Amino acid sequence: MKETFSCRCCGHCCHGTSTVSLTPREIERIAAHLSLTVETIRSRYLVQKGIRTEMKVVDGHCIFFGEDGLCAIHPVKPFPCRQWPLHPSILDDRQAWEAIRTDCPGFDQDATYEDACKLVRNTRHGY
């Protein structure tokens, strides 16, 4: 049986002109994972945009997107990165599902809106 979603590690969701924002706790986790101080993480990898703290964008992708096409901080990546593309907005909005599936090639071509909703409801994103 085909899976409704299986990440193809294409890296598309790690590219763009900005990234998701991080919480202070997520920054601490990244610092611990890389054995660096929070201050070093902030200056080397993060950018402040008003009240939002984001990851820097380098060459059109998140600074943590590695040359191997994988996330360099996968075990501690921010919650929105772990959640994507199974975003709860899908549950309320069929158009959100259509937009997300257009952006992400990991969904099976035959997956229905109901399949996606079921998967979103059944998926946990915790550490």
Give the residues lining the site for ligand SF4 (CB under 6 A): 7-14, 19, 55, 62, 64-65, 71, 73, 77, 81, 84-85, 104-106
Pick between residue 5 and residue 117 the one whose CB is nearest to ligand SF4.
5
Pick between residue 63 and residue 117 the one whose CB is nearest to ligand SF4.
63
Max distance between CA atoms of the chain, in angstroms, equals: 48
Least separation, in Å, of the C-beta of 72 and ligand SF4? 7
Pick between residue 10 and residue 32 the one whose CB is nearest to ligand SF4.
10
Residue 7 burial by CB count (10 A; 0-12/13-18/19+): exposed, middle or buried?
exposed
Count CB-CB contacts under 10 A for residue 53. Answer: 18
Least separation, in Å, of the C-beta of 91 and ligand SF4? 18
Count CB-CB contacts under 10 A for residue 97. Answer: 23
Q: What kind and span of H or E run contains 114?
A: helix 113-122
Pick between residue 12 and residue 91 the one whose CB is nearest to ligand SF4.
12
